[in-house]
Structure 1
Amino acid sequence: MMFKQIEITRAGAQQHVALVTLMRPEKMNALTKVMEQELREAFARLDRDDSVRAIVLTGSGRAFCAGMDIDELEVLPPDDISEMAWMRAYDMNRRADYQSRYSYFPAVRKPIISAINGAAAGLGLVLALYSDMRFASESAVFSTAFAKRGLIAEHGIAYLLPRIVGPGHAADLLLSSRKVTAPEALSMNLVQRLYPADQLLEQTLAYAEDIALNVSPRSVKVIKHQLGESPFQTLTESIAMANREMFLSIQSEDFKEGVAHFIERRPARFSGR
Structure 2
Amino acid sequence: MGDAADEPPVLLAVAQGVATITLNRPAHGNGWTAALSRAYAAALEGATRDPAVRAVVLTGAGRAFSVGGDAGGLGAVAEQGAAAPLAATPYWLPLASPKPVIAAVNGACFGIGMQQALCCDIRIASDDAKFSTAYARRGLVAEYGMSWLLPRLVGTGNAMDLLLSARLVRAEEAGRIGLVNRVVPAADLLAEATDYARQLATQCSPGAMAAIKRQCLRDLTTDFPTSYATAEALLQDAFAGDDFREGMRSWQAQRPPAFPPLPAGHGMIPPWDDDAFMTGEQP
Structure-1-length-normalised TM-score: 0.90
The equivalences for 1:56-205 within 5 A come to 56-76=57-77, 77-80=80-83, 83=85, 86-87=87-88, 101-205=90-194
Match of 1:8 in 2: 12
Q: Aligned pair 1:227/2:216, yes or no?
A: yes
The match for 1:249 among 238, 249, 253 is: 238
Describe the superposition over 1:106-143 as per-residue Cα deviations: whole angstroms up to 9, x where unpaired.
Answer: 11010000000110000010000010010000010000
Q: Deviations over 1:143-184 (max 9, x none)?
A: 000111111111111111111001111111111111000000
Check the 8 A contact 1:113/1:134 in 2, yes or no: yes
Query: Equivalent residue for 1:93?
Result: none
Give the letter aligned to residue 150 of structure 1: G
* Separation in structure 1 between the aligned mates of residue 26 and residue 72 of structure 2, nearest angstrom: 16
Task: Give, as a single letter, the amino acid of the residue that structure 2 aligns with 1:80.
Answer: A
Q: Say if 2:45 is the partner of 1:44.
A: yes
CA distance in 2, matches of 1:78, 1:169: 31
Structure 2 unaligned residues grouped into runs of 5+: 1-5, 263-283
CA contact (8 A) 2:52 2:261 kept: no
Preserved contact between residue 113 and residue 135 of structure 1 (Cα < 8 Å): yes
Q: Which has the higher contact order (CA 8 A, sep 6+)?
A: 2
The corresponding residue for 1:54 is: 55
Structure 2: how far apart are the matches of 1:255 and 1:60?
Answer: 39
Q: Can you give the 5+ residue segments of structure 1 that lack an aligned partner in the other structure?
A: 89-100
User: Distance between the aligned counterparts of 2:199 and 2:169, measured in 1?
Assistant: 30
Shift of residue 272, structure 1, vs aligned partner: 3.8
Shift of 1:218: 0.8
Residues 13-32 of structure 1, C-alpha deviations (whole Å, 9 max, x = no match): xx200000000110011110
Letter of the 1:8 partner, please give it: L
Alpha-carbon RMSD across the aligned residues, in angstroms, is 1.5
**1:269 to partner: Cα distance:** 1.0
Measure the CA separation in 2 of the matches of 1:158 and 1:269: 40
* TM value normalised by structure 2: 0.87
How far is the alpha carbon of 1:79 from its aligned partner? Answer: 4.4
| 1:3 to partner: Cα distance | 8.0
| Structure 1 position 34 matched with structure 2 position 35 | yes
Tell me how far apart the structure 2 counterparts of residues 136 and 80 of structure 1 sit (CA, whole Å).
31
